Structure 1
Amino acid sequence: MEKGSWRIEGLKQIAVALGFVLAYEAAHPLSPPQFGLGSALRLLWLLFLPYRYWPALLVGEFVPNFLAVYPCLDQFGALWVVFRANPPLAFMMPIVWFCRARLALFPSRRLINVKTLLICVIACSLVLTVYGSVAMVLAHMQPDTLPLTPVVAVCYFIGIYFAMLAIVPWPLIARFELRAGRWHDKFLRALRSRLLLEGVAVLLPVTVLLAFSSYRSSTSYAQYMLMAMFLPVTWLSLRHGWRGAALGSTFTLVCAACVLPSEMLQANVLVVQTEVFLALTITALFVVGARITEQVQLGRYGNDDRLLARQSYQQGEQRLRQTAHALDITAGRLHLSISRLLRQMHRFHPHIENEIYYQQAMAAHLEVQQLAESLHPAAWRERGLPAALQESIGRVLDEAGISYRCEITGRGFTRMHPALLAAAYRVACEAVVHVSGRLACSSVRLTLRGGETHRMRWLVLRVEGAMDDAKVARAIHNVVDRRSLATKLGASGMDRHRLREQVRIFDGELHYCCRPERVRLTVLLHDARKASTDDAASMRLWVH
């Protein structure tokens, strides 16, 4: 079995290397100096693939790279061949690893850190520019070669940067959209979106018109026409956020690359000024668009509004805790009082049957206890959130004939804000009620994971209900207990929209997956932070 797994892993490594070679060879003829498509392709492979496949990428680029530069041994010398044989991927890997592992390029499975993405693109463009510049310097040691000038270096950098800005965001958006639902539905929704309609009907014709006017105009007017290309991108970014900036930048940068000189020797100061201006404006529009998208995702809550909502949430939970504790005490006192009363009645009237009255008294006592348990479980008050998730929810589901499994991993639960823990329990109860709403639900699995990333504590809660049509008859037998799940758990039966609004109070995300065999609801919650940290977090630029 172990040999088989090693064989499969080896085949995967070979497939990755061959796939990269084929993709790079296909893109190489479409990579002019003013639009480095091959560099964007390298960055995409590094962003998508796990780290264990990176050595295969190195091999996949080294072999064709060496075969391409070795025939130039007599023309440029051995030193140039040795340097150029090194894959450019090797110089990009430390940057991409640092951005993915240390700068939270992907904070979650459905979020992109635009600020880190721009840092990664700029850093990779600089490294590849240095790589190409060193290669040109080594080649210039031989006669009749292109000299390295500042204009050539800047044009080389802008060409790589243009391609990465235009190409890289779209595969990332597509990956996150496919994770969020079925690709067919997402594709049809994208075709009917106003973003695509306005991009094709307004932005594309205006951009093509400006590019054509620049191509047909004199040098001075051509520069102004190219610089004016950022205007439709600005309009689309303000309307649709960072995806509008991505779509507009793709159209604009591709049209600009078609108009700009394809030979570096033809580049001059005016060309460099135009390229730098477009690069700066498009980068700024990415930041502005990401900021707009982030505000929309946060439900247009300001920092003060979220802080006030968290405080109100915590105060409400505290009142429920106090009420449940008072009801527990009242239930105990009620039980003692009725027991004493029944003993006194039996003393004066020995022939009275006390069993019926005692059963009624116990039923009233249990009802008061259940009410207190639904408001705030005793296990939560005494032993914390893990005990409430394991015992309180498990007991209610067991009474309804639904098997239950709870897994709690991670760390830092004791350091998390009480409001966050309260929100996790309430969301768990709402999710359990939601997934067990079908009669075919035979089992529920709850997974809670806590952790800390970049000094930010978080919780991930996943509730998954398994559907089994063969157990519907048993569910019908326990239909009364199933209908009372929400009452016993203190849930209000929220739909996904209302639950998502509650999750956003804690800067969270909700993901819902519904299939015939299971229903899964996943929630990410972030710990409540102080105002200073909240202000700093407001510039995270996390979007999807």
Structure 2
Amino acid sequence: MERFKESIELSFRIRPVGIALAAVYALSCLASRQFSLDQFFLPAGIRAAALLIVPTRLWPYLLLGEYAYFATLRIPMIDSYGLAWVILASTLLMPVAMLVVYLHRMRMPSESATGLWLLSLTFCTALFVPALNMGISFALWSNPPPSNLLSAVDRTIFGHFAAIITLVPLAFLWSRRHADPNWTRRFAAPTVTAILVMLVLGLCMQLTAISAHTTRTHLVLLSSLPAIALTFMHGWRGAAIAIPLLNLPLHFATPSTGLPSSFDLGTFATQQNMAVMSVALLALGSSISYHHERARSRGLAEETTLRLARSSHQTRERELRERASHLKQLGEGMDSSLGEMVSWLKAQGHHAVANSLQHASSMHSRLFREQASLVYPTGLEQVGLYIALRVGGACETWNNSHRVIPPRLEGNPCLLTVDLQLAIYRSLIEAVSLLLELESGQVSVRARSGQAGERRGIVVVVGLLDRGCTLSNRTVQQATERLA
């Protein structure tokens, strides 16, 4: 029995920060209600935004603040609407909003799907919470429902939607502020300019006369231009900043009584247009974020592939260098052995045989060194790229083809890194081999090493000597595949 009691025992510790949170939430809802309209119900936006910002472990305090807010408003209404309505309509709204937000938070979106996720959260919250509220009201009120029921439902749901879509994206942006801290550094000057322009236009809305609906509409349309610019620059994050700067100035410029059913027909059409604009901005921002994330992922993949290819190439070059070093040692060993053999033959009086062996040994030793230099140009590390090209095995191969004119090599490549010189050497050998294989005519090789500003580099041109001849499509394709 004791174990059963311990298993069902609930532990709830009252935290001062929770009490403060409940008080701030209740006061925010009470204050915002004084500026609210049926067509823009700010407490609904504050409710959804608070559930996104506040951790789930502190949600009971938000519920406490919600009950305090409704107690202040609806206890005086018991005599008019009944105790059942006051209790049910006050206690069930926040749990439904919590359920909607919790289900959405269980499937947190990727960077590219955030805009659509926010739209889903906004639509669900703006539909279920006011629908429950109005259903309870129409079921429990003693007064018959108004004749214009559909109009009242439309205004209520739209008012919740307009407030939620204004505050929820900004709240979610705040909750994800550490996900990508570098986004604030992109387009810093244009972003600040766009925000300042929207703030100035919003101030102008406050200064216009209450009856100047056309002027306010024009100002709202002007504000939509920097809002679109913010969305293009930052995706859904730009839309999250732009939407409050679009909707809140228009709302605060609209007169409100602070009482239920407060409505202003003059700005209702403009607010409907702004709601559509807000949906479009979030959808556009989601698409832009998707393509930006896709491009960034592709860039990272290409960078990773390039890094792996470079690492593989460097490993292969190290292996070739070790192989060339081993071949060099073998060649030196054979030269030493043949030299001893030549000396022994001369000591025995076989001078003709010794001279013939020495001549053959010298010729084959030279050919062996040339072939070893094609495996890896070890001389490049000591004497540089140009001398490695003039005295290595590549030069001998070009001379034997009788189709490569003497290279024109200018500048000092020794100022470049060995890795860069080696890459140029490999590319140049491959390019000449490709032209000798697929084209006819003489081949020219030109290289110039130099410095431009603080950067050093080299330009290499391998082509046909006859400027009137063009490369075949096959040659171009092979060059792209083998040299890219």
Q: Tell whether 2:44 aligns with 1:39.
A: yes
CA displacement, residues 12-69 of structure 1 (integer Å, 9 cap, x when unaligned): 7552354133322233132223432222222222112333333443344345545754
Shift of 1:234: 2.5
Q: Tell whether 2:227 aligns with 1:196.
A: no
Distance 1:95 1:15 in 2: 25
Q: List alignment gaps of at least 5 residues for structure 1.
A: 1-8, 350-367, 372-486, 488-544
SS of equivalent residue, structure 1 residue 216: coil
Q: Tell whether 2:284 aligns with 1:288.
A: yes
Q: Which amino acid aligns with 1:197?
A: L
Distance 2:46 2:15 in 1: 18
* Number of the residue aligned with 2:56: 51
Q: Which amino acid aligns with 2:248?
A: V
Q: Larger strand proportion, structure 1 or 2?
A: 1
- Say if 1:331 and 1:282 are closer, same or farther in 2 by CA, change over 3 A: same
Q: Which has the larger radius of gyration?
A: 2
Superposition map of 1:55-70 within 5 A? 55-62=60-67, 65=70, 69-70=74-75
Q: Tell whether 2:156 aligns with 1:165.
A: no
- Say if 1:73 and 1:332 are closer, same or farther in 2 by CA, change over 3 A: same
Distance 2:205 2:192 in 1: 20
Q: List alignment gaps of at least 5 residues for structure 2.
A: 1-10, 341-377, 382-418, 420-484
- Say if 1:347 and 1:13 are closer, same or farther in 2 by CA, change over 3 A: farther
- Say if 1:278 and 1:169 are closer, same or farther in 2 by CA, change over 3 A: same
Please say if residues 166 and 244 of structure 2, whose CA atoms lie closer than 8 Å, have aligned partners that are also in contact.
Answer: yes
* Number of the residue aligned with 1:279: 275
Q: Tell whether 2:104 aligns with 1:99.
A: yes
Alignment counterpart, residue 91 of structure 2, candidates 86, 93, 110: 86
SS of equivalent residue, structure 2 residue 273: helix
Shift of 1:90: 0.9
Distance 2:241 2:313 in 1: 53
Please say if residues 40 and 163 of structure 1, whose CA atoms lie closer than 8 Å, have aligned partners that are also in contact.
Answer: yes
Moved more, 274-283 or 129-138: 274-283
Moved more, 126-135 or 254-263: 254-263
Distance 1:152 1:27 in 2: 22
* Number of the residue aligned with 1:123: 124
* Number of the residue aligned with 1:528: none
Distance 1:150 1:90 in 2: 25
SS of equivalent residue, structure 1 residue 33: coil
- Say if 1:158 and 1:192 are closer, same or farther in 2 by CA, change over 3 A: closer
* Number of the residue aligned with 2:153: 153
Please say if residues 199 and 245 of structure 2, whose CA atoms lie closer than 8 Å, have aligned partners that are also in contact.
Answer: no
Distance 1:48 1:92 in 2: 14
Please say if residues 53 and 174 of structure 2, whose CA atoms lie closer than 8 Å, have aligned partners that are also in contact.
Answer: no
* Number of the residue aligned with 2:28: 26
Please say if residues 44 and 168 of structure 1, whose CA atoms lie closer than 8 Å, have aligned partners that are also in contact.
Answer: yes
CA displacement, residues 127-165 of structure 1 (integer Å, 9 cap, x when unaligned): 22212212321343x138867712212221222222223
Superposition map of 1:41-440 within 5 A? 41-62=46-67, 65=70, 69-70=74-75, 72-104=77-109, 107=110, 113-140=114-141, 142-143=142-143, 149-174=149-174, 176=176, 193-201=192-200, 203-205=201-203, 207-208=205-206, 212=208, 215-216=210-211, 222=213, 228=218, 230-241=220-231, 245-258=239-252, 259=254, 267=263, 273-289=269-285, 291=287, 306=298, 310=301, 314=305, 317-318=308-309, 320-321=311-312, 324-325=315-316, 327-328=318-319, 331=322, 334-335=325-326, 338=329
Distance 1:244 1:69 in 2: 39
Please say if residues 137 and 148 of structure 1, whose CA atoms lie closer than 8 Å, have aligned partners that are also in contact.
Answer: no
TM (norm. structure 2) is 0.52
Distance 1:76 1:137 in 2: 11
- Say if 1:97 and 1:265 are closer, same or farther in 2 by CA, change over 3 A: closer
- Say if 1:68 and 1:147 are closer, same or farther in 2 by CA, change over 3 A: farther
Distance 2:32 2:296 in 1: 46
Please say if residues 166 and 249 of structure 1, whose CA atoms lie closer than 8 Å, have aligned partners that are also in contact.
Answer: yes
Shift of 1:235: 1.0
Moved more, 172-181 or 338-347: 338-347
Distance 2:309 2:273 in 1: 56
* Alignment coverage as a number of residue pairs: 326
TM (norm. structure 1) is 0.47
Please say if residues 230 and 252 of structure 1, whose CA atoms lie closer than 8 Å, have aligned partners that are also in contact.
Answer: yes
